[in-house]
């Protein structure tokens, strides 16, 4: 006997879309993060370059990694909600048709 979730969730037609989207956004962020690590390893001196308002590349890149994570998260949520709403609408429409 398999162990079922505490709060069973119904079928999610948007699931495959969300997985694809998630992987793409994950790859994008991973490359961004990897470039930060690589830059530190391959050209550590460049991290001291002043980029803007007296802040160096290390600080700006570090803040960017945090801020981009949040922006990506918000975009991901917005796209997921849009897709979920789309499928909910289709479900509603087909339910209406069925009852008619």
| Contacts with other proteins, residue ranges (CB under 8 A) | 1-7, 9, 12, 15, 18-19, 22-23, 25-26, 29-30, 33, 36-37, 40-41, 44-45, 47-48, 50, 53-59, 62-63, 65-67, 69-70, 72-74, 76-77, 80-81, 84
The residue among 5 and 98 lying less far from other proteins, judged by its C-beta, is 5
The distance of closest approach from Cβ of residue 100 to other proteins in the complex, given in angstroms and rounded to an integer, is 29
Written as six digits, the tokens of 1 are 């006997």
Token pair listed for 35: 């470039």
**Token pair for 75:** 């975009």
Determine the Cα–Cα distance for residues 47 and 24; give it in Å rounded to an integer: 28
Nearer to other proteins, 23 or 96 (CB): 23
Query: Which runs of consecutive H residues, i.e. helices, occur in 1-100?
Result: 15-42, 57-99
């Amino acid at each position: 006997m398999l162990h079922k979730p505490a709060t069973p969730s119904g079928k999610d037609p948007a699931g495959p879309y969300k997985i694809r989207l998630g992987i793409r956004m994950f790859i994008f962020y991973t490359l961004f993060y990897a470039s930060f690590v690589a830059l530190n390893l391959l050209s550590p001196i460049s991290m001291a370059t002043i980029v803007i308002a007296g802040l160096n590349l290390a600080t700006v890149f570090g803040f960017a990694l945090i801020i981009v994570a949040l922006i990506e998260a918000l975009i991901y949520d917005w796209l997921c909600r849009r897709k979920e709403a789309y499928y909910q609408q289709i479900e509603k429409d087909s339910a209406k048709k069925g009852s008619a």
